[in-house]
């Protein structure tokens, strides 16, 4: 059961002019399950992406990087996404399978292999059944529709318990611009369902330079702020598409009102998709926002936020609604800031000041913290007392069910 | 139930000439429970220690550092250890309580405050009931005995399910030298029982310089190679004492046979104590050794070892005896070695070659890995294929009981 999240209905997801989606059941790993998703992009659509930093990055990720890096701007015409098998840890044969996927789709759509971006998510170190995948492509093509977002959100799920999608509409130069996206993931890395995929599209016209800036900016404000269990998967990908079909004058200037409006909408969609992943985190019963301020840099604030969010002890305490908050102090002290003066650190749980001057705050009463911890949504706030920068992380608790899901998966 | 570990019997623990131990029930947190341990050191005993890197280090750790740093060599005469309350995250009043502990014991033993090293382990951010502690000191003193190691091993336990102690005897210059130690801890950080304490004593005479070298060397080969959940507590301390009472000629040369023999015995004791912590790890059902070789430095090998050992996904797979080994590849790829060539990485489970050339090894059969994973002791071996350095980490699996212990603790 996700924490305060449900999938938007199909009519809440705005079509994006220039983008059509189609899904099919190709039997990649299981029969009778939608596991193949095609995104068709109008000619001239621009695409930018950010990908996993894991050195064991999956074969499709390697091809995505190559095709995005080599082709002319605006040349990408299709994205193909399979679930079931991650095609990671599969060596040369995995790369050949990903290439074959692109070739087959290119031939079907009368484009070239390098105009296709492939994505896979599922079990690591098992071979992609590329023939079954290729056999499913015509069904995807036949299903292509501008209203395919809702179906696509479902077809890219693996251990997700809920499909994740979000939409915003924004006015730029008097034109109504749509921003719609989908994501999947139920851990930064799931069982070994490698893992986080996010696709966001807009019909706005925007320069390639700004699109690349925006995809990084949006990732930093969304998918790069979440953690379930601290692992980074072999397949993590976040792609931003701008079809330009809305007909606005191309946005070229980061200071322009158009860029500001578009980036706000894209960040909002990406953040909703990212938070949905945490809300649907494996075994999650609580959604926790960790705000760290008073730092010398956003990076050190993130470091502290992640130290708290990754601590199994902090996460189990949240699961138990036990205000065992010394664990948070220990995590802060353990975050790797060499010259942290702990006597200047302050810690709040919700609006309760828990700790200051290196110890328990005089006014702190455990029953107040218990009340905050009983809620399904909790804010932890830390002031490092050494600067004015801040950062924020979203995470979930660690429950019996996390172990159950990850121990039982596959069997 | 610890994995293949039980406490040595009292007669297996060699007394160390010059060291006496006494325990008492002071009612620090719970009544009728041995929670206070005194180690009395003969005059001239040398002491060296390594302490937590956590910035929220406990008040007693701050005093230990001060007393070890300020006094003359050979001036430390007593160690006092309480369980129940960690006296961490307690600010100025915590420091005053630790100081009062030292003053009271100093007065009892007719020594000075700076000749006492205090240690605490237990709940963070709660006040140490220093009056009850002080009231328990005479009982500790009355109980002092050279045969107190077994009792002391029990009295320093918190959530440990088993007392941890080890002994070795070694011949130096024709004299029989004893090395005996005790440790506590059931996680790198336990619920919030902050956490790992280790005390090893020998009657060998050894120079202060070499003792300081040896405590670091022994820590690096033992307590610094273990992890249960990746947290570093506010109270971690490892102390090495050399009373010199054996009457050997003082060991001053790291190349001497005496140093080699002594260091082997100390490392063996420290390693047994450290491994006992992992074997007694919270919820542990498996003991896992991770050997990483073929690295450019021991540090990068450790980095990879810890990335594997800290991955909740790897740990839950071991709990489930599920050879879901792509998770280990993902952890290796996620260890932060920027220029790792994954096509040169090899992975073995026991003697089964699982992965090579960036993918699954052709001869690998999952049923072979299942057989290895069913055992209570498992060796994971990684060859990074880029150098000749190596390192090794000991850890345990992540089970339902880990969550249960850490969620239910305190309630």
CA distances in angstroms from B29 to B23, B54, B130, B143, B238, listed in the order given = 16, 24, 11, 21, 24
pLDDT of residue B71: 77
Residues B221, B316, single domain; the answer is: no
Q: Does A117 score more than 60 pLDDT? A: yes
Instruction: Select from A230, A249, A279 the last residue of a domain.
Output: A279
Please report which confidence band the pLDDT of residue A232 belongs to, taking 50, 70 and 90 as the band edges: low
- Residue A342 forms part of a structural domain: yes
For residues B275 and B293, membership in a common domain is answered with: no
The 10 Å Cβ neighbour count of residue A352 is: 21
User: How many residue pairs bridge chain A and chain B with CB atoms within 8 Å of each other?
Assistant: 243
pLDDT at position B316? 86
Q: Are strands B19-24 and B36-41 parallel, antiparallel or unpaired?
A: antiparallel
**For helices A130-142 and A91-109, what crossing angle results, to 10°?**
30
Interval A184-220: pLDDT, tens: 987 644 444 457 899 999 999 999 999 999 999 999 8
* Co-location of B241 and B303 in the same domain: no
Residue pointed to by tokens 């209203």: A147
Q: Which helix (H) or strand (E) holds A5?
A: none
User: How far is Cα A121 from Cα A158, in angstroms, rounded to an integer?
Assistant: 8
Helix A400-408 to helix B400-408 angle (10° resolution) is: 180
Contact in structure between A243 and A200 (CB atoms under 8 Å): no
What part of B 189-248 touches A (C-beta under 8 Å)?
Answer: 189, 191-192, 194, 229-234
Q: Compute CA A192 distance to the chain's CA centroid, rounded to the nearest angstrom.
A: 16
Phi, psi dihedrals of residue A128, rounded to the nearest 5° = -75, 125
Q: A317, B406: Cβ pair inside 8 Å?
A: yes
A121 is catalytic: no
Using CA atoms, how far apart are residues A370 and A361, in angstroms rounded to an integer?
16
CA diameter of chain B:
71
Tens of pLDDT along A368-396? 999 999 999 999 999 999 999 999 999 99
Query: Given CB atoms, is A255 within the 8 Å cutoff of chain B?
Result: no
Q: What is the mean pLDDT of residues A249-257?
A: 96
**Touching check for A320 and chain B: CB below 8 Å?**
yes
Please state the φ and ψ torsions of residue B125, each to the nearest 5 degrees: 70, 20
Tell whether B247 and B322 lie within a shared domain: no
Work out the percent of chain A whose per-residue pLDDT is above 90: 74
> Does B313 touch chain A if contact means CB atoms closer than 8 Å?
yes
Count of domains observed in chain A:
2
On whether both A80 and A135 belong to a single domain, the answer is yes
- Residue A173 CB neighbour total at 10 angstroms: 16
pLDDT at A410: 46
- Looking at this predicted complex, what is its ipTM? 0.78
Output the domain CATH number for residue B113: 3.60.70.12
Distance CA B227, CA B98 (A): 28
Catalytic residue chosen out of the listed positions B7, B37, B195, B202: B195
d(CA A113, CA A106): 5
| C-alpha to C-alpha distance for B97 and B113, rounded to whole angstroms | 13
Contacts A332 to B, Cβ<8 Å: 55-56
Same domain membership, residue B379 and residue B230: no
Question: pLDDT below 70 — which residues of chain B?
Answer: 187-194, 229-232, 405-411
State the nearest Cα–Cα gap between B55 and chain A, in angstroms. Answer: 4
Confirm if B203 and B18 have CB atoms less than 8 A apart.
Answer: yes
Does residue B115 form part of some domain? yes
User: Can you tell me whether residue A220 is helix, strand or coil?
Assistant: helix
pLDDT at A247: 94
Give B373-384 pLDDT, tens digit per residue: 999 999 999 999
Q: How far apart are CA B172 and CA B244, in angstroms?
A: 12
Residues 44-63 of A with CB under 8 A from B: 53-57
Q: Does residue A274 sit in the same domain as residue A294?
A: no
- For residue B342, the chain A residue with the least C-alpha distance is A56
CA-based angle A21:A23:A27, to the nearest 5?
155
> What is each CA distance from B258 to B219, B261, B368, in whole angstroms?
20, 5, 45
pLDDT tens track for B202-221:
999 999 999 999 999 999 88
How confident is the model at residue B11, as a pLDDT?
95
Which residue segment(s) compose the domain that B49 sits in? 10-279
CATH number, domain containing residue A320: 3.10.20.340
Chain B: nearest CA to A397, how far in angstroms? 11
B291 and B265 within one domain: no
Calpha distance B140→A100 (Å, rounded):
75
Q: Are A207 and A293 within one domain?
A: no
């Amino acid at each position: 059961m996700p924490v305060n999240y449900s999938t938007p209905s199909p009519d809440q997801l705005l079509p994006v002019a220039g983008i059509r989606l189609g899904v099919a059941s190709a039997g990649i790993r299981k029969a009778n399950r939608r596991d193949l998703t095609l995104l068709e992009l109008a000619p001239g659509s621009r695409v930018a992406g950010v990908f996993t930093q894991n050195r064991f990055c999956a074969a499709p990720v390697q091809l995505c990087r190559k095709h995005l890096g080599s082709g002319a701007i605006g040349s990408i015409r299709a994205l193909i996404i399979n679930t079931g098998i991650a095609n990671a840890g599969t060596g040369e044969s995995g790369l050949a399978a990903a290439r074959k996927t692109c070739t087959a789709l290119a031939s079907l759509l009368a484009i070239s292999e390098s105009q296709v971006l492939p994505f896979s998510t599922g079990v690591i170190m098992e071979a992609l059944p590329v023939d079954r995948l290729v056999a499913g492509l015509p069904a995807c093509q036949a299903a292509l529709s501008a209203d395919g977002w809702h179906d696509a959100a479902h077809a890219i799920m693996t251990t997700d318990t809920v499909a994740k999608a979000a939409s915003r509409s924004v006015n730029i130069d008097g034109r109504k611009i749509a921003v719609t996206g989908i994501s999947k993931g139920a851990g930064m890395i799931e069982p070994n369902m490698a893992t986080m995929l996010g696709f966001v599209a807009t019909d706005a016209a925007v320069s390639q330079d700004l699109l690349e800036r925006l995809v990084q900016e949006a990732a930093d404000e969304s998918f790069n702020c979440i953690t379930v269990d601290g692992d980074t998967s072999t397949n993590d990908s976040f792609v931003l598409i701008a079809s330009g079909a809305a007909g606005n004058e191309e946005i070229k200037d980061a200071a322009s009102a158009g860029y500001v409006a578009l980036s706000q909408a894209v960040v909002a969609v990406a953040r909703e998709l990212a938070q949905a992943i945490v809300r649907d985190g494996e075994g999650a019963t609580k959604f926790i926002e960790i705000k760290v301020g008073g730092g010398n840099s956003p990076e050190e604030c993130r470091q502290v936020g992640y130290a708290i969010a990754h601590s199994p002890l902090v996460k189990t305490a949240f699961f138990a609604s036990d205000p065992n908050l010394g664990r948070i102090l220990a995590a802060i002290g353990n975050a790797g800031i060499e010259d942290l003066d702990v006597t200047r650190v302050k810690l709040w749980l919700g609006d309760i000041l828990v700790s200051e001057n290196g110890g328990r705050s005089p006014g702190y009463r455990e029953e107040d913290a218990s009340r905050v911890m009983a809620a399904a949504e909790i804010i932890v706030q830390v002031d490092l007392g050494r600067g004015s920068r801040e950062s924020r992380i979203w995470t979930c608790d660690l429950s019996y069910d996390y172990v159950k899901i990850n121990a039982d998966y596959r069997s």
